[in-house]
Amino acid sequence: MIDIDSQWDYNDPAGSEMRLRALIPQAEQSGDAALEAELLTQIARAMGLQMRFDEAHALLDDAQALLTPDMPQAAVRVALERGRLINTAGDPGAAFPHFRMGMGLCPRHAAGHPRHRRGAHAGDCDRRARGARLERAGARHRRQQRRRTGARMGRIAVQHPRLGVSRSGRLQPRLAGVPRGVAVPRGAGRTADNPGRCVVRGPLSALAGACTTRR
C-alpha cells in the first residue's frame, strides 16, 4: 500500500508533485481508482502551493469523476483539497463549504485519522479567520459611527447657544465662560447641591429644554 503522505515535502511542492505523479502509473496498472483519485488530489494540492490554480481544479475534476460511493476517503480528500485551493487563492468564505462537506463525508469510524483531524483543523481555522474578519469589520463600523456621532454633536453644540459637548460625546448645558464646541471635563459644573451631571435626552428638536439631572 502506498503511503501518500510520506511523498510530501511542504517546502518543495514542485518536488512533491513529481513524486506523486510518478505513482499514477502504478495506481492505474493496479486498477485502484480510489488510490488514483487520492493521488490526483495531492498533485492538485502541490499545484495550488505553486499558484497553478486552474490546473489544480482541473485535476480535482478528474479525481471527482473517478469517485464511487465506496471511496469515502478519496471523496474527503477531493472536498478538502478543493477548499484548500480556494482558500489559498484568497477566498476563505467560498472555501468553507468545501471544508464542511469534507468533514461531513468523513466516515465515523475514521474520524480520528490524522488526515481527518487536519481537515477539521483547516475548517476550524477558516471559521476563526472569518470570525476575526467580521470582528474587525464590526470594530471599524463602530469607530466610524462614533466619529460621525461626535461630529454631529459638535455641529449641534456649535450652533446652539445653550449646549456643549462632554468628553464622552454627550450634549449637555453649556457652562458659563466655556466657548462653543469645547469639550467639557467630567465633573465640571458640579456643586454640593447638584452632584449629578446634566444629560440631554430626546429628539434633537427638543434639545433646548430636555435636560434632566442624573444622580
Strand partners, 44: none
The CATH superfamily assigned to 5-135 is: Tetratricopeptide repeat domain (1.25.40.10)
How far is CA 88 from each of CA 13, 52, 205, rounded to the nearest angstrom? 14, 11, 53
Tell me the per-residue pLDDT of 70-90, one tens digit each, with 9 for 90 and over.
888 899 899 999 999 999 888
β partners of residue 164: 172
When the pLDDT of each residue in the chain is averaged and rounded to a whole number, the result is 71
pLDDT per residue over 100-134, tens digit each?
A: 888 877 654 344 445 545 555 555 545 555 566 66
| Mean local confidence (pLDDT), 43-60 | 94
pTM as predicted: 0.51
Residue 95 in this model has a pLDDT that exceeds 80: yes
Average pLDDT over residues 6-22: 91
- Where along the chain do its domains lie? 5-135, 160-214
- Name which of 81, 145, 82 is nearest 115 in CA terms: 81
pLDDT of residue 205: 43
How much is the pLDDT for 149? 66
DSSP 8-state secondary structure symbol assigned to residue 175: P
CB 165 within 8 A of CB 146: no
